[in-house]
Chains A and B, each alone.
Chain A
Amino acid sequence: MSLQDAVVTAEQLPPLDREPWSAISPSYRAVLRWTVLLYCVIPLVGLGLVIAFDLEHLRTPAKMLAAAIVVLALFLLAVWVPRRVHHTQYLLRELDVHKRTGFWWHKTVSAGTNRVQHIEVTQGPIERLYGLSKLVLYTAGGYQSDIKIPGLPTDEAHRLKQYLTERIVSEELETEHAAH
């Protein structure tokens, strides 16, 4: 089992860009919007208190900061959320899994199915409201090495998980056969 006879690259996989990527559920927009609102409301409440209690020299900066937060929140809600959801896509192939996402900073993440260690379906309270789930694939790279596919309808997430788990098991069997 040395590295001597590792696989020579045969470009067997077709290029990714022309594959049929699947989009995530559009209702994930609502989930993101609630999250943005939650994150913006907390500092706004704090700033509101500062303004309400009329702390002398903190009043103007607090108002400016609050205005900035409101502008940011409006931007996130109206522009960022739809574009982000529109850009988040995933692609499952027989041998590998991909996800691409990003508003300005685009990112395409890929991993071979044979490197997936375990799979998780998670669902937060807001996601539950909209019947969505998040599929998380863990690889062995430790920190940062998971692939998260958010905004999947719950039953679809479970079906994907089922499919991937089967793939992993069959991969492992193949590997053992190859070793024999």
Chain B
Amino acid sequence: MPPTDATALAWQRASPIAMVYFALKSLRALVHLWPTLIPLVAGGESVRQWFLTWGIPAVICLVLLGVVLHWWFFSFAIEEKRLTLRSGVFNRTRLSLDFERVQQADIAHPFYFRPFNLATLGLESAGSSQQEVDVPGIPIALAESLRKNILEQQLQAKSDTQTFDSETRTSGKTTPDYHLNLNAAEIVRYGLMHNSLLYLAPLAAPLGQYLGPVFEQSLTQLEASQWYSLFDWLSTNLAISIGVVLAVFAVLVGTTFLFGLSVILALFRFWNYELTRVGERYQSRAGLTTIRTRGFKTHKLQKVTLTQGLIAKCLKRYTVHISKAGGGVAVQTAQSQDKHFLVPVVDWLNWLLLRDELNMPAARWRRVHSFSWRFPFVVYSALICTLSAAFAIAFGPWALLGLLLLPLAFLINRRLWRQKGYFYNGEWLAWRSGFIGFSEQWLPVGKLQKIEVCETPLKRWVGLCDLQVLGADGKVSLVCLPKAEAHRLRDALLTGVVMYKKPWF
């Protein structure tokens, strides 16, 4: 772009409230600097003292200064068909985004913008290096009109190159073709089903040594309270020490706390979740403090994953992930979660409805070869027998009790095998696996990228091979197929791929 053009642009600055956005962003960036805290731990008392008196105020000042500068140097210009952004304090960057290249336009309403009628417009551009651009702190009306503008431009660009598809006709339509609304109870279920905080639980162990003295102090208070009589009663009746009762109690309280937290987080994230389809465009809208709108079009779908974990199984609910084009690239980036289109919790009926919407068939699963469980079982049995025998010789015959693990290994391997299955019907290839719960991965055949037939020496010997299928969103392995079947499937899949003449990205 010639420099004269640049001066002609009407540069606008975001509202000062946008500084909150930049502050939050730089706080997120600060988290990545946590290794710098290592010297504090290693450095001893004087270093820590010095850091508290000078370091923390200095960091705060720097962050504040950075936030103000970031806001000051962030400006944007809107033209008829293009949005140009200037940002950066030292590294000035300038980014032009043609509306017709924008793949997705979201409007987020964070809680700190809502009282001021402001919003963040998030744009995602197409291309191999998926770029994400946020324009924070612009009036909601402007954001809405920009988004509308962008969508219109896209439609125009499309009607230039393609036939008028259903979208143009339905874009004026307000009633969705499909609608799913999740109430609070369902979202609470999601919080219970997907408790990522449980992974934090092992962290409690090192904290335990600090908690120990606190615990002992409160124990004396506890002994005075009437609760103690309950624990005492439990411990005498169950003939276990009071320590065990207290420990079990502490674990229960901790787990409940984590689940409660997870539920609250889920409520914040998915409050009033709404999924709609208009024409071929799906859109979800959810959030308590920050309302997020995400969308995808059917032709961009790359993979559908249906999962059900242990708790979900008890609650009879499922989770559906839908990956869009470019999802495979995004796996490496931090916010991979955002690249997936998530239907957090559906019951069986709603899954059937959604499955129909996505034109997915009912699966008739085919089992993989029984070698899939026989071989690991043989390996584990050999291991268990050898170890039991060795321990029996070394420590006495009671070690032969280890042989009781054999039926367990049998059951586990058999269960794993029974949960495995594949399905192919010309349009979809699906793979299912799991132990207690399950996960089904559905790939549209026409969009597969690469197909591999792998034979390990052992499997070749028994006439089996694995089929690995790479879509634009990751790899799916169909293990232990008979060789002829795998080759037939590979040829059929390839035919499906080369005959697929429609846009897939």
Contact = CB atoms under 8 A, between A and B. Distances in A.
Contacts of A145: 328, 449-450, 470
A27 interface: no
Given A15-B487, A178-B501, A180-B162, A6 B446 contact: yes
B495 A9 contact: yes
Contact of B494 (A17, A110, A143): A110
A81 B485 CA distance: 31
Interface string B254-282: 00000000000000000000000000100
A103 to B, nearest CB: 9
A141 B358 CA distance: 22
Given A105-B454, A145-B449, A110 B163 contact: no
Interface stretch (A68-76, A111-119, A123-131, A157-165): A111-119
Nearest to A17: B487
A178 B472 contact: no
A141 B128 CA distance: 11
Contacts of B448: 112, 115
A144 B498 contact: no
Contacts of B455: 102, 105-107
A7 B496 contact: yes
A57 B444 CA distance: 60
Interface size class, chain B: 35 or more
Residue picked from A102, A110, A178, most chain B C-beta under 10 Å: A110
Interface string B462-505: 00010000111111000000000001001110111111111101
Nearest to A104: B457
B498 A9 contact: no
A121 interface: no
A180 B453 CA distance: 36
Nearest to B456: A105
B165 interface: yes
B305 interface: no
Nearest to B472: A140
A110 B448 CA distance: 10
B451 A140 contact: no
B132 interface: no
Contacts of B451: 109-111
Contacts of A20: none
Interface string B313-357: 000000000000100110110000000000000000000000000
A170 interface: no
A108 interface: yes
A179 interface: yes
B49 interface: no
B36 to A, nearest CB: 30
B182 to A, nearest CB: 25
B494 A139 contact: no
A88 to B, nearest CB: 15
A147 to B, nearest CB: 7
A140 B495 contact: no
A179 B162 contact: yes
A141 B454 contact: no
B452 A1 contact: no
B444 to A, nearest CB: 6
Contact of A11 (B450, B470, B495): B495
A8 interface: yes
Contacts of A8: 426-427
Contacts of A15: 487, 491
B492 A179 contact: no
Interface in A85-112: 95-96, 102, 104-112
A143 B328 CA distance: 8
A117 to B, nearest CB: 8
A1 B161 CA distance: 14
B163 A3 contact: no
B328 to A, nearest CB: 4
A52 B41 CA distance: 41
A2 B298 CA distance: 6
Nearest to A139: B449
A42 interface: no
A11 B489 CA distance: 10
A104 B162 CA distance: 49
A10 B496 CA distance: 8
A176 B502 CA distance: 9
Contacts of A142: 328-329, 331-332, 472, 474
Contact of A141 (B426, B445, B472): B472
A141 to B, nearest CB: 4
A139 B325 CA distance: 13
A175 interface: yes
Given A104-B457, A142-B329, A1 B450 contact: no
B470 A13 contact: no
Contact of B450 (A9, A13, A115): A115
B449 A3 contact: no
A93 B332 CA distance: 33
Given A141-B328, A179-B503, A96 B494 contact: yes
A6 B329 CA distance: 25
A110 to B, nearest CB: 5
Contacts of A112: 448, 494, 497-498, 500
A117 B427 CA distance: 22
30 contacts: A1-B503, A2-B299, A3-B298, A4-B359, A6-B444, A12-B499, A15-B491, A17-B487, A102-B455, A104-B456, A105-B454, A105-B456, A105-B457, A106-B465, A107-B454, A107-B455, A108-B453, A109-B451, A111-B449, A112-B498, A140-B328, A141-B472, A141-B475, A142-B472, A143-B328, A143-B332, A144-B470, A145-B328, A145-B450, A179-B503
The list of the 9 closest CB pairs from A to B, nearest first, reads A142-B328, A141-B449, A95-B498, A112-B497, A139-B449, A106-B455, A7-B499, A112-B498, A141-B470
